[in-house]
Structures are given as structure tokens and as C-alpha cells.
Amino acid sequence: MFTSMDTQSQAGIAPAPPPLADRRLWRIAGYAALVAGLATIVTLDPVVLVPVAALFIVVVPCEKLFPRHQQRLLRPGLGTDLAWAIAQPALRLVGTGAGIVLAVATFAWLPGMALRPLISAIPHGVRTVLGVVLFDCLVYWGHRWSHEVPFLWRFHSIHHSSKRLDWISGVRVHPLDGLVVGPAVVVLLAAGFGVRLAGALAVIQLAIGFFLHANVRWRLRILHPIVATPEFHHWHHSSEPDALNMNYATLLPIWDVVFGTYFMPGGGRRPEVYGTTTPTPEQFVPQVVHPFRGLRNPVAVFRHPAAGLRETLAALRRGTGQIIQASHRRPRPGSTL
């Protein structure tokens, strides 16, 4: 026997939406669960607040003394960014686990081990410089593919959903964002560039990343073609049409110059509008689950192995083609050094 809702569905009539009061109750319950979850994380590991406090103490005074845009400290979206900041340690475990699985599944360590004798013969100082350059190049390409390959953009678009850049907006990063770089990093580690070097570079890039998102008016023109600056990265976050998909470097802009994605217009023009034209939710939990919407349930691969394998291989071919296509770009006119 069908209920009234079942009868409406069978007749092709959409069921009535829940009353406004019910939707409000569900929203309040969701917020309460989120607050309780974040409070639990802080209670179990108060250290998660240390990076937030450090960012506030170091960056906020600079933003107040040298503001790029006049915006309140308690601006829209701050609660979402704080939720990301508190949850990041736990989410990072998920991302690291997924990265390990991807690296193992792609046998990424094998070519690295083959290169190890050659790399070990390079003098230590030269090897360190080479490691910095190669790691930064990998980050450039991983970042570029995260924008220009549709499947990867699902996850990276969350980072670009913030319409305001400041001391805390850089923490809005999905745990599966950037996984495409994992196998390549494993190749370099297996080749002998060293875990300590990779760890140091990760910490340096993390620190620089927070500085790049800061709401400060420093232009630092002389540094533009040498090292990434807030002005350089703010253009990357700009939603102005000619600035889209530009300035991917997080340390050395030379990669953007060489591969045709450098954008620093002259004439006193500065980035004014940020965000993405891709529809994304505004709250923390919906942002975590949003990239998975519309994807097929992975369990279906195990239910129908043959069909699942064919679909997986087809998806990999499409993804490889999209990565190759995204790796070719001619420089745009109007970009200046």
C-alpha cells in the first residue's frame, strides 16, 4: 500500500516541500550538531586552536594597519572558515590516507626507486635546490589541473568559494583537493630527495599560503616575477573574466611565466572581486559533501565488476585527456612582468 507521498510520486506530482518550521528545525539541529562536533575536536585536542591564534596574532594587525579592502573582522563567511580551521587536522588525516592509497595504486614509488642511484650521486646542495624547484613545479601543475580538469575542480572550487580574502580564508581547503600531485611527490621521495626536505617545503608553502591570502595592500612590484606575493595570488582568486585560471604558482611565478599563465596587469589595475562562478554552498558541512554530488556510488563497481572496470578505465582515459589538454596554454595578451 502506498502512502499519500508515494501516490503523488506515482502520479508524477512532486511531493510538497516540508513546512518552513520543519526546515528551520532541521537547520538548527544541523548547526547544533556542527558546533557540538567542533567543540568535541577542540576538547580532545586543544592544539588545533594554536594555528588559528597564531594567524590572528600575526596577520590581523597587518590587515588593520595596511588594509587592501575595508572589511569587518566579523565578516560574512568567517564562521565557515573557522569551522574549516578547527576541522582541518582531522580532515587532513582523510586526505593523507587517500593520498597514500592513490600512490600505492599507481605504483608511483617504482620509477622513483629506479632514479635513486642517479639522484644520490648529485652533491647535497645541488640536490636540495633541485628538490625545491621540482616540488614547486609539481605544485604548480597540480594546482593548474585542479582548476582546468572538471573532476578535480569539484574539490578545488571549495577553496575559491570565499568572496573575501583575509587571515583565515586560506584554510578553506577540501581534504581531497590536490591529491593528483600525490603520486608525483612519491616519485621524488622514492628517488631520494628526502622526507625532511618535503616536510620543510610543505610547512614553508603553508605559511606563504596564509600570507598570500592576507587582506593587505602591499604591491611589492619588484618581487612579482621572482616570488609569489599577495597581489599575485589575489589576482588568482579574482573572478574577473580575464583573470580566471591564471597565476597558479604558490612560490615561484616563473612557472606561470614559462607556461603562459602569468597575469599581472599594469595601469594601476588591482583585483576587486573574488569568488567563483561555480555554484557552491556557503556552510561548512555542505561544502565538505558538495564535490561528491552527482558522482556514482563507488560500491556499484563491486556489485558489477566488469561494467565497473570498463567505466573506471573510460573515466581514467577522459581524465588523462583533460590533463593533457589543460597542460597546453598560450600566453594571454595583456599580462606584464
Cell triple for residue 12?
508524477
In this predicted structure, which of 55-69, 264-278, 315-329 has the lowest mean pLDDT? 315-329
Q: Hunting for cell 566488469 — which residue is that?
A: 306
If 0-12 CB within 10 Å is exposed, 13-18 middle and 19+ buried, where does residue 91 land?
middle
Q: With helix as H, strand as E and coil as C, how does 134-194 read?
A: HHHHHHHHHHHHHHHCHHHHHHHCCHHHCCCCCCCHHHCCCCCCCHHHHHHHHHHHHHHHC
What is d(CA 63, CA 60) in angstroms, rounded to the nearest whole number? Answer: 5
Contact between 236 and 264 under an 8 Å Cβ cutoff? The reply is no
**DSSP per residue, 69-80:** S---SS-TTHHH
**Helix H or strand E segment including 200:** helix 195-212
Q: Reply yes or no on whether the pLDDT at 42 is more than 70.
A: no
Model pLDDT for residues 167-185, shown as the tens digit of each residue:
999 999 999 998 877 777 8
Q: Reply yes or no on whether the pLDDT at 334 is more than 70.
A: no
pLDDT of residue 195: 79
Confidence bin at 43 (pLDDT 50/70/90): low
pLDDT of residue 97: 85
Residue 143 belongs to a domain: yes
Backbone angles phi, psi at 314, to 5 degrees: -65, -40
As beta bridge partners, residue 67 has: 216
pLDDT of residue 144: 94
Model pLDDT for residues 216-273, shown as the tens digit of each residue:
999 888 999 899 999 999 999 999 999 999 999 999 999 999 999 999 998 889 999 9
Three-state DSSP at 75 gives: coil
Q: Which residues constitute the domain of residue 109?
A: 42-288+298-326
Residue 68 belongs to a domain: yes
Percent of the chain with pLDDT over 70: 77
Contact between 280 and 161 under an 8 Å Cβ cutoff? The reply is yes
Model pLDDT for residues 188-218, shown as the tens digit of each residue:
888 888 778 877 887 888 788 889 999 999 9
Residue 23 belongs to a domain: no
Residue 318 belongs to a domain: yes
Residue 29 belongs to a domain: no
Cell triple for residue 122?
648529485
What is d(CA 77, CA 253) in angstroms, rounded to the nearest whole number? Answer: 29
pLDDT of residue 256: 95
What is d(CA 192, CA 298) in angstroms, rounded to the nearest whole number? Answer: 35
Contact between 146 and 178 under an 8 Å Cβ cutoff? The reply is yes
Residue 170 belongs to a domain: yes
In this predicted structure, which of 70-84, 98-112, 151-165 has the lowest mean pLDDT? 98-112
Confidence bin at 111 (pLDDT 50/70/90): confident
Three-state DSSP at 113 gives: helix
Residue 204 belongs to a domain: yes
Q: Reply yes or no on whether the pLDDT at 75 is more than 80.
A: yes
pLDDT of residue 10: 36
In this predicted structure, which of 29-43, 209-223, 283-297 has the lowest mean pLDDT? 29-43
How many domains, the chain?
1
Q: Which amino acid is it at 72? A: R
What percentage of the chain's residues is helix, strand, coil (to nearest 5)? 65, 0, 35
User: Which residues have a Cβ under 8 Å from the Cβ of 90 and sit 6 or more positions away?
Assistant: 41
Q: Reply yes or no on whether the pLDDT at 60 is more than 50.
A: yes
**DSSP per residue, 212-257:** HT--B----GGGTTTS--HHHHHHHHB-SGGGTT----SS-THHHH
Residue 24 belongs to a domain: no
Query: What is the distance between the terminal CA atoms of the chain, rounded to a whole angstrom?
Result: 72
pLDDT of residue 172: 95
In this predicted structure, which of 19-28, 112-121, 133-142, 191-200 has the lowest mean pLDDT? 19-28
On average, the pLDDT of the chain sits at 81
Higher-scoring residue by pLDDT: 214, 303? 214
